[in-house]
Amino acid sequence: DIQMTQSPSSLSASVGDRVTITCRASQSIITYLNWYQQKPGKAPNLLMYAASSLQGGVPSRFSGSGSGTDFTLTISSLQPEDFATYYCQECYSGPCSFGQGTKLEIK
Amino acid sequence: QVQLVESGGGVVQPGRSLRLSCAASGFTFNNYGMHWVRQAPGKGLEWVAVISYDGSNKYYADSVKGRFTISRDNSKSTLYLQMNSLRPEDTAVYSCAKDHSSGGARLGLDYWGQGTLVTVSS
């Protein structure tokens, strides 16, 4: 099965900062990579799909890139509501898998 | 609006079985693949299983393969997860989620239920 590794596991940043989260797959997944945001006690929210496509209703400060094994999620200017945990997910072959998550905290 | 409502969770002893249900509404259920995802208390998301829109294809995480079975009843717009031989490490909130795209493409999970808690303990 494909393993997904996110880095960093946690990150402290300030409102207005530009932040990048990385996700690496154990083998090529082309662009079958999705990103989610999860706030405490809430269901995950789909942010990006197919590596770089912005889900409807998601602010344009979120962007995604990458292909093959290496992917990034970038938040161009952090807003207070962006402090949450972020997960990447692959669904390249039959099974899917999530990264371990990146907790984004206020500095 | 799309709604996914899970039920069937509870406290169960190790080795016993439990069946979860996910009632779907607000979309054409038989057009979309459906997933189960779990999250242990204080831990990250763990993908569990997926079933294709017509039930012909099913895939499982290694951690549940051979013990859990995903199924669906399109006439009732309901998704199921039969969990056998439960272990303490299966303790988690189990959520159902809908594929973003219809057909077979895996382009994210765009709607999620709030989940049902399964606790495996003696």
Q: How far apart are CA B29 and CA B24, in angstroms?
A: 7
Amino acid making up residue B14: P
Establish if B112 touches chain A: CB-CB under 8 angstroms.
yes
Q: How far apart are CA A8 and CA A103, in angstroms?
A: 8
Contact check, Cβ <8 Å, B50/A95: yes
Task: Please name the residue of chain A whose CA is at the shortest distance from the CA of residue B65.
Answer: A95
Contact check, Cβ <8 Å, B47/A87: no
Contact check, Cβ <8 Å, A44/B59: no
Q: How far apart are CA B90 and CA B121, in angstroms?
A: 10
How many angstroms from the chain centroid is the CA of residue B39? Answer: 11
Nearest to B100 among A1, A44, A46 (CB): A46
Q: In angstroms, what separates the C-alpha of B88 from chain A's closest C-alpha?
A: 20
What integer pLDDT is reported at residue A35 of this predicted model? 98
B96 contacts on A by Cβ (under 8 Å)? none
Q: In angstroms, what separates the C-alpha of B43 from chain A's closest C-alpha?
A: 9
Per-residue pLDDT reduced to its tens digit, A20-29: 999 999 999 9
A88 contacts on B by Cβ (under 8 Å)? none
| Backbone CA torsion sign across A22, A25, A28, A30 | negative
Per-residue pLDDT reduced to its tens digit, A46-91: 999 999 999 999 999 999 999 999 999 999 999 999 999 999 999 9
The residue written with tokens 């997860």 in the block is B81
Contact A39, A58 (CB under 8 A): no
Q: In angstroms, what separates the C-alpha of B107 from chain A's closest C-alpha?
A: 5
State the pairing for strand pair A97-98/B45-51: unpaired
* Two tokens, residue A100: 């371990």
Percent of chain A predicted with pLDDT > 90: 95
Contact B28, B34 (CB under 8 A): no
Contact check, Cβ <8 Å, B107/A49: yes
Q: Which of A49, A94, A87 is nearest to B45 (CA)?
A: A87
Weakly modelled stretches of chain B, pLDDT under 70: none
Contact A78, A19 (CB under 8 A): yes
Residue B51, classified by CB atoms within 10 Å of its CB into exposed (0-12), middle (13-18) or buried (19+), is buried
Contact check, Cβ <8 Å, B109/A46: yes
